[in-house]
Amino acid sequence: MADNQNNNDMVNPIQIQKFLSVDYPVDKQTLIETAKSNGADEKIISTLEKIPERTYNGPNAVSEEIGKLM
């Protein structure tokens, strides 16, 4: 049941990238703030909050971390 709940709360990396118009490298908090300011919903924000706290060098690095959560 826990796996099903995680899948319902997650969004795919492509959906998230639509809200991340940032100049990389960027930290996790900036990703979250940018997504919020671009109108991301709670599922997207929640997913970004679950990725590790670090500097991301590009959208592929963000997508890779999101993929690990799925």
- Would you write out the chain's pLDDT as a tens digit for each of its 70 residues? 344 344 556 688 989 999 999 999 999 999 999 999 999 999 999 999 999 999 999 999 999 999 998 8
The confidence score (pLDDT) of residue 9 equals 64
The confidence score (pLDDT) of residue 3 equals 41
Using an 8 Å Cβ cutoff, are 10 and 47 in contact? yes
Phi, psi dihedral angles at 12 (to 5 degrees):
-80, 155
The confidence score (pLDDT) of residue 50 equals 96
**SS3 at position 16:** helix
Provide the H-helix boundaries in 1-70.
Answer: 2-9, 13-17, 28-37, 42-50, 59-69
All structural domains of the chain with their residue ranges: 2-69
Q: Which two tokens stand for residue 24?
A: 């990389």
Q: What angle do CA 57, 62, 54 make, to 5 degrees?
A: 60
